[in-house]
């Protein structure tokens, strides 16, 4: 196995770093403070190809691997984890349409999403169906050449500011579980759609989060993605990559926090010598770096498994998401601690990174659900080799 990045991946990393330092880093604190959704910057990201990273080239994307994508996303997240996270959600929704929609629907929608001209929201979670996603109640009823959709979604990133909703709704009987769910593409301004207030969140201030209500929303049947009943499987396939994406956002935030802590230890003096001279703090920095590198390797292994259609890709994506989001949050927390009181004030970005990374342990499946996925797979007979 070769753990070195390829020449292409190094080029992707440098391009993403240059873009992030120019277009994101100088503005991230203002976006956070004023709750600004930087649509103009996302359009610039689209010009770089970053809004369709693993969307096929034939549909306007870059056609990259998930490993290539992780290298790019980490650099974007080092500048602003919140904005980078929305970019990854958009990429996940775009890939789902590009992979499973009809040819006509793909050609109509995907190029505009991949270019950043249109933005997409991923709509799965409901008031009574968070971790229990198969229990969703939003209903889509076939009526001739249309579907009529009623229900509500909550905690939807970008809601009210995006152009397309990639939405899961029940087309089967109420008790049909995951087998009765289908996926739809819905114009975000369709008649019958209304949006709730922008939620006041702990972090992720640079992207709006709203409830979406759908009342007799009528869309063409051709806007269904895949066959009836395939929606849950499509959503879960999207989430394998989504979990790696959000784990990668944690890597970027932790990397930025670690470097700031290292630099601060050289600058700050106490008791007549720099913090870097205290062995206890050296050990703390060493543990932070070790955990960050371990998390990065787990994420890249998960990406490798997904790129190669490994039968245990879901398992590895779940493990990577759980470990990386937990470990990287602790790296940022320790970086804040090393800054002392300065880490707690908004002049320094540590508290913003801490707030932004905290939600990564919750979304795209809580880390408790990640543990459940791993445990159930390992307890199946004959799958001990899955982690070898």
Which fold, 232-387? Butyryl-CoA Dehydrogenase, subunit A; domain 3 (1.20.140)
Distance CA 368, CA 3 (A): 30
Helix (H, G, I), strand (E, B) or coil at 174: coil
CA-nearest of 247, 251, 335 to 293 is 251
The per-residue pLDDT for 133 is 83
Q: What angle do CA 206, 367, 13 make, to 5 degrees?
A: 50
- pLDDT < 70: residue spans in the chain: 1, 381-384, 386
**Phi, psi (deg, nearest 5) at residue 100:** -125, -10
CA-nearest of 181, 130, 186 to 153 is 130
H helices, E strands: number in the chain: 12, 10
Max CA separation in the chain (angstroms): 80
What sign results for the dihedral spanned by CA atoms 122, 84, 306, 364? negative
CATH architecture of residue range(s) 120-228: Beta Barrel (2.40)
Is 351 one of the catalytic residues?
A: no
Locate the domains of the chain by residue range.
7-114, 120-228, 232-387
What's the pLDDT tens digit per position in 136-170?
A: 999 999 999 999 999 999 999 999 999 999 999 99
CA 85 to chain CA centroid, nearest Å: 5
> With pLDDT > 90 as the criterion, what percentage of the chain qualifies?
93
The model carries a pTM of: 0.96
Owner of token pair 């600004």: 36
What's the pLDDT tens digit per position in 296-339?
A: 999 999 999 999 999 999 999 999 999 999 999 999 999 999 99
The per-residue pLDDT for 382 is 58
356: part of which helix (H) or strand (E)?
helix 350-358
> With pLDDT > 70 as the criterion, what percentage of the chain qualifies?
98
Q: Residue 360: which residues within 8 A CB-CB, separation 6 or more?
A: 81, 85, 246, 247, 249, 250, 325, 328, 329
CA 72 to chain CA centroid, nearest Å: 13
**Phi, psi (deg, nearest 5) at residue 163:** -105, -25
Distance CA 119, CA 387 (A): 37
Size (the chain), residues: 388
Catalytic residue among 74, 364, 368, 385: 364
Per the prediction, the chain carries an average pLDDT of 96
The per-residue pLDDT for 129 is 86
Q: In sequence order, which ranges of the chain are alpha helices (DSSP H)?
A: 7-23, 28-34, 39-48, 66-79, 81-100, 103-114, 231-267, 279-307, 313-338, 341-344, 350-358, 367-379
Distance CA 114, CA 175 (A): 36
CATH architecture of residue range(s) 7-114: Orthogonal Bundle (1.10)
Q: Bridge partners of 23?
A: none
């Amino acid at each position: 196995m070769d753990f070195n990045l390829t020449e292409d991946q190094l080029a992707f990393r440098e391009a993403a770093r240059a873009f992030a330092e120019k277009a994101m880093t100088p503005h991230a604190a203002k976006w956070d403070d004023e709750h600004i959704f930087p649509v103009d910057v996302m359009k610039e990201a689209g010009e770089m190809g970053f809004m369709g990273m693993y969307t096929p080239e034939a549909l306007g994307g870059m056609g990259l691997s998930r490993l290539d994508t992780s290298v790019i996303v980490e650099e974007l997240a080092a500048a602003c984890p919140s904005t980078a996270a929305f970019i990854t959600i958009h990429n996940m929704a775009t890939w789902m349409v590009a992979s499973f929609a009809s040819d006509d629907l793909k050609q109509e929608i995907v190029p505009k999403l991949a270019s950043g001209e249109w933005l997409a929201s991923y709509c799965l979670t409901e008031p009574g169906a968070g971790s229990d996603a198969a229990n969703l109640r939003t209903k889509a009823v076939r009526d001739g050449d249309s579907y009529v959709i009623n229900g509500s979604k909550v905690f939807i990133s970008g809601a009210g500011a995006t152009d397309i909703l990639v939405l899961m709704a029940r087309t089967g009987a109420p008790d049909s579980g995951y087998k009765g769910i289908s996926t739809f593409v819905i114009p975000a301004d369709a008649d019958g759609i209304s949006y709730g207030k922008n939620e006041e969140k702990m972090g992720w201030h640079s992207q709006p989060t709203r409830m979406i209500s759908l009342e007799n929303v009528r869309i063409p049947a051709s806007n269904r993605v895949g066959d009836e009943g395939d929606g849950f499987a499509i959503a879960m396939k999207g989430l394998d990559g989504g979990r790696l994406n959000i784990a990668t956002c944690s890597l970027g935030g932790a990397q930025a926090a670690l470097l700031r802590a290292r630099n601060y230890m050289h600058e700050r003096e106490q008791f007549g010598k720099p913090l870097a001279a205290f062995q206890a703090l050296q050990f703390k920095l060493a543990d932070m770096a070790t955990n960050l590198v371990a998390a990065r390797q787990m994420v890249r292994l998960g990406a490798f498994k997904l790129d190669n259609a490994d039968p245990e890709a879901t398992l590895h994506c779940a493990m990577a998401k759980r470990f990386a989001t937990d470990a990287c949050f602790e790296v940022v927390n320790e970086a804040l601690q090393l800054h002392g009181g300065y880490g707690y004030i908004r002049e320094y970005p540590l508290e913003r990174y801490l707030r932004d990374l905290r939600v990564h342990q919750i979304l795209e499946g809580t880390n408790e659900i990640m543990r459940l996925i791993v445990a159930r797979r390992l307890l199946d007979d004959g799958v001990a080799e899955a982690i070898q």
